[in-house]
Amino acid sequence: MTADGPDRRVEDAPPPEEPTPPEEPTPPILRLPPVTERELAARRRGLASAYIPGGDDPEMAETHRRERRYVRLLLAMIVLIVGIGMFVTILGIIVAGPAG
């Protein structure tokens, strides 16, 4: 007999429990419950997700005109930024004089 109680043999110990596999696999993200108001509304209508279909632009000419203006503005900003960098560099070389 030990201080903790009667001697126990190894055979008296209960067998270790094996972990049981889960009954269901973890659900994929698509099966998670909806969390936004848009997803809830889509589920009420019987849709699987909140999908907003696209379509053709009804005013394609106006959109292209607006986009051309933005492209010209973007090109002007690029030329301005590069031009200012070159101007400052050349001015710095002229002011500092030749190195040597």
Could you report the per-residue pLDDT of 13-31, keeping only the tens digit for each?
Answer: 666 677 766 666 555 555 6
Could you report the per-residue pLDDT of 54-80, keeping only the tens digit for each?
Answer: 777 788 888 898 899 999 999 999 999
HSE-CB at 39 with a 13 A cutoff on CA atoms is 9
User: Residues 6 or more apart from 13 whose CB is under 8 A from it?
Assistant: none
Handedness of CA 57, 60, 65, 67 (dihedral sign): positive
CA–CA separation, 61 and 68 (whole Å): 11
pLDDT for position 73: 96
Nearest partner of 35 among 49, 46, 25, 47, judged by Cα: 49
**pLDDT greater than 90 at residue 43:** no
- The domains of the chain are located at 59-100
